[in-house]
Structure formats: C-alpha cells, structure tokens
Amino acid sequence: MIPSNSKHIPYDEEADRDNHGQQQSTRLPVDPCAKDELQGQGSQNAEPHQNEVLVPVHASIVDATQVVVLVDDQGIPTGTMDKLAAHSGAGALHSAFSVFLYDTAGRVLLQRRAAQKHHFRNKWSNTCCSHPLPGETVTAAASRRLLQEVGITASAEVVGSFTYRAPDLDSGLIEVEFDYVLIGEYEGDVSPNPDEVSEVQWVNFQGLREQIALDPEAYTPWLTLALDVIEQQSPTPI
C-alpha cells in the first residue's frame, strides 16, 4: 500500500552528485529491455536519496524516455520499467517530479494537460510534471521538461516530496509515484507544446485552493498534495 502525502527528508542535490562516484553496481530484476547493471546509490546516513542514480540504458536497446526509475518507499532506486507498464494494473512505485513556477506578483503558472496524453487528459495541473530519466537529476529533469512542455528556460529547486496512488478511471491507468516538488521563479513568455499542453493560465497562489474546491474533477489528483508540501515550507513560497 502506497500512503498518500507521506513525508520525506529534503532533497540534497550536492550530496547526490557526490554519491555518483560512490555507487556500486548491483544486478537487479529490471525492465527486460534494460539488461545493464543498475548502479545503486547506497545510504550511510539520513540524507535524502533521489533518482540521481545512474542506470545505464543503451539507446540501441531501449528508448530511455520510455522508461521510469523504480524506487522504494524512501525514494531509493531499485531498477527501471517500461513507462506504460509502470502505469498499468496495480502500478509500480517510480520517481517523478512536479514543478511550480511563480512570477513576482505571486501567481503560479498552471497548464491543462493535452487531450492526447495517456492519462488524466484535459486536467489542469502545475507548471509541468514528468519523470527523471535514468541517470538524470531531478533539477536537470525539471529544466528539460519545462522547455519541452511550456517552452520555458528556467531552473527550480526541490522543496520536498510525497508518495501517492491515484487511478485514472477514464484511461484505466494509474499513478503510483514518489513525487519531488520543485519551485522556481519566471517572468516571460510561455510557449506550450500542443502535444503536451492545451492551454496555460497564471493563477494567484493564495486563491488556488478555492479554485480547485469549486471543481476538483478539473484538476490532477497530485496537484493538491504538491501544494501541501509547498505550504509546509512557507504560506507564500516566492
């Protein structure tokens, strides 16, 4: 059972980078296409761990963008799995992230997921959300997806994390994620990728809860959980 809104130790990117050089190779039952060894990230203290683990995946064997990094309930990587398989049936706990960009007026940028997305189609959600690639840091993944989804070049920092399970009755798929929450600042144009995003809007952060309460089915289930993490840090994040 994956608990909803479980607490996690704050992410330490510098410690993660240091640990890259200390990884040990372990043979794991990973995605059948990914035959390589998983370089597991050992934990000697209470510092947080994240999917900054390097999981070698050769491009000739599998498209790395179509796999997710499996993790345990502490966020420690255990292998990889085909993305669609991880979202099917009972699902498999994997690493993910949710980014919130704010402007100087305190508004947060929301996106509406495109109709052709695999699941939670046409739902309003945070600025962008996705999965780190094998061997990719969460912050690097966030910058990559901001550019790919909404045409924004920006950086964001991790402020916390949570785990959750959320079935999508429309598609029959399910989210079972260890989700890192990132926030950042941005002023400028937004250029949504129509394959990912149907529309965007800037919304006052302080009124977002009330807006969701008026029509909760219009929003993704992880949005309010991510807001909980942000509000634990500060009522006014930016």
Find all residues with CB under 8 Å of 136, minimum gap 6, and list them: 51, 52, 144
Cα distance between residue 175 and residue 202, in whole Å:
26
Cα distance between residue 211 and residue 4, in whole Å:
22
Residue 157 dihedral angles phi and psi, to the nearest 5°: -120, 150
Look at residues 142, 138, 169, 166 and name the one whose alpha carbon lies nearest to residue 153: 142
Beta carbons of 108 and 202 less than 8 angstroms apart: yes
DSSP 218: G
Please state, in angstroms and as integers, the Cα–Cα distance from residue 79 to each residue in 2, 97, 135, 173, 220, following that order. Answer: 18, 18, 11, 21, 27
Please state, in angstroms and as integers, the Cα–Cα distance from residue 153 to each residue in 10, 39, 163, 186, following that order. Answer: 24, 30, 27, 9
Bridging pattern class, strands 197-204 and 124-125: unpaired
Cα distance between residue 132 and residue 8, in whole Å:
18
The catalytic residue positions are 129, 177
